[in-house]
Structure 1
């Protein structure tokens, strides 16, 4: 069952904080407020929210919240020593999802 974008935004604000979320999505803080109220999100940004929510859901299955937040901000060898947060900001969340999957596979090896 699809989860409304406003609920995803609220969950991401809870998990990441407003400031970090505005950075990751590269939007103005007021935009987050509108989206959280269910107002005016375009398809491109809705897709970015969906992907970021998928990244966080995958990370939180693997790590506690504080570790997941650090993982997003740290250099990652799976991403050629780039920060996952920077890739997400540039619209490359699928690469980050792949890195989470690799991290998960390594933790179960």
Structure 2
């Protein structure tokens, strides 16, 4: 073993073009999710309460920092729910719907936090058919 090789600092591998494209694509997808989800909230601070995280986390995500897996999934699910809710309600009342108590059951936002998007979509479907609002 060459002793000079062991003391030479390793060069940090540069991201390949493909790595950068993938990172950029992931960032664009997250920004898309943010854009859809944000339509239901009057501010980033209000959106942050849905996670709950400090509003600076939302700003960091918009700038390209990747959220942890839990928050990335929640952001995606929240965007899906908001997109569906926009078909039923005005955006101004969607946050209220997400945080509203549902006849003793969990709030829709709590279901999303538990990874239960399908249950939230069922509630939205029921609301759109007039069965439950």
Q: TM-score, normalised by structure 1?
A: 0.74
Q: Deviations over 1:12-48 (max 9, x none)?
A: 2343122222121122222111111122223332221
Structure 1 residues 36-79: Cα deviation after superposition (integer angstroms, max 9, x where no partner): 112222333222111000000010111111232221222224xx
Does structure 1 retain, via aligned residues, the 8 Å contact 2:48–2:54? yes
**Which blocks of at least 5 consecutive residues in structure 1 are unaligned?**
none
Match in the other structure for 1:105? 129
Alignment partners' CA distance in 2, 1:66 and 1:13? 11
User: Contact (CA 8 Å) 1:25, 1:88: kept in 2 or not?
Assistant: no
**Whose helix proportion is higher, 1 or 2?**
1
Question: Radius of gyration: which is bigger?
Answer: 2
Partner secondary structure for residue 25 of structure 1? coil
Contact 1:22 1:28 in 2 (8 A): yes
- Aligned mates of 1:103, 1:14 — CA distance in 2: 19
Q: Which consecutive unaligned segments of at least 5 residues does structure 2 have? A: 1-25
Equivalences, count: 104
For residue 84 of structure 1, what is the aligned residue in structure 2? 108
RMSD: 2.4
